[in-house]
Amino acid sequence: MRKKLPHFIMLLLIIAMCYPIVFLVTGSFMGEGELIEKIGVIFGAVKGRYTSWSMLPENPNIWSYIKVLFDSPEFFTAFWNTIKIALITLALQCIVNISAAWGLAVYDFPGKKSVLRLYIILLILPFQVLMLPQYLVMDRLGLTDTIWAVILPMVFSPQFIFILYYFFKKIPDHIIDAARTEGASEWKIFIYIGLPLCRTGLLAAAVLSAAECFNIIEQPLLFFKTKTLWPLSLYLPNAKMDKVGGNFVAAVLSLLPLVLVYLYGLSCIEEDVTSKK
């Protein structure tokens, strides 16, 4: 019995974590009338009763999906804004942060420890602390109300650098020394030794960074004045009772890119770990 207890607790935790996703998927197949009956009290559409929910819709239909996919251009605008921000940010992060992590891990230079301490400070600082200086810089550069105001501050990610830094740090020194002895340039050592050995860390950092790009709220609220630039993180909270079914569908569709990125990253990480055994 004692051996089964931890498994039972883990099962309960898994159910608790998965329930919000089940909640979204179930709600996306409910009709507007059923949604009003169950959660209308939250929006003031129904009074004098409590909210309720069921694991399966009473009369499942795909009408909400049809409305979102064929009659909601604002959703697709927000969706592609999010994809654009995520792809550009990830591309620039790979260019900048991989090089920075390699330099910090492999080379010794004056002030290296100070740079690492600075990155630790930036890692623990919340966005609210950096909000004003970032806005002043972006405003001076004339980048407010453009996607670059959100992208550029996220390019220099301390989290991305620290993940790769510790992966590069695990590379034995004798491998790099042997490559230098054989006449390999520093660039070739980075390309043919460093990058292949940090593939797992790069995938992990990319998955976390993609999730961060999909969840940003304060940055677009601060920098975007035009609603056509809004990402999904600002589009989804604007739920109204007359469009609540569409919001369930939009939430489900917005999860799909992250799920695909996670599954691809997980399969690559498992493949790398298996090949190293």
Find where tokens 């660039």 sit: 187
pLDDT (tens digit, 9 = 90+) per residue, 153-179? Answer: 888 888 888 888 888 888 888 888 888
Q: Which CATH class name applies to 73-276?
A: mainly alpha
In angstroms, the CA 95 to CA 100 distance is: 9
From first to last of the 277 residues of the chain, give the pLDDT tens digit.
566 667 778 888 887 887 888 888 888 888 777 777 777 666 665 666 667 777 778 778 888 888 888 877 888 888 899 999 999 999 998 888 888 888 888 888 888 888 888 888 888 888 788 888 888 888 888 888 888 989 988 888 888 888 888 888 888 888 888 888 888 888 888 888 888 888 888 888 888 888 888 888 888 888 888 888 888 888 877 766 567 777 888 888 888 888 887 787 777 666 655 555 5
pLDDT (tens digit, 9 = 90+) per residue, 80-107? Answer: 999 999 999 999 988 888 888 888 888 8
DSSP structure string for 151-211: HHHHHS-HHHHHHHHHHHHTS-HHHHHHHHHTT--HHHHIIIIIHHHTHHHHHHHHHHHHH
Both tokens of residue 120? Answer: 């630790």
Q: What is the per-residue burial (b if ≥16 Cβ within 10 Å, else e) of 70-97? A: eebeebebbbebbeebbebbbebbbeeb
Both tokens of residue 154? Answer: 């996220």
Q: Start-end ranges of CATH 1.10.3720.10 in the chain?
A: 73-276
pTM for the whole structure: 0.81
In angstroms, the CA 93 to CA 96 distance is: 5
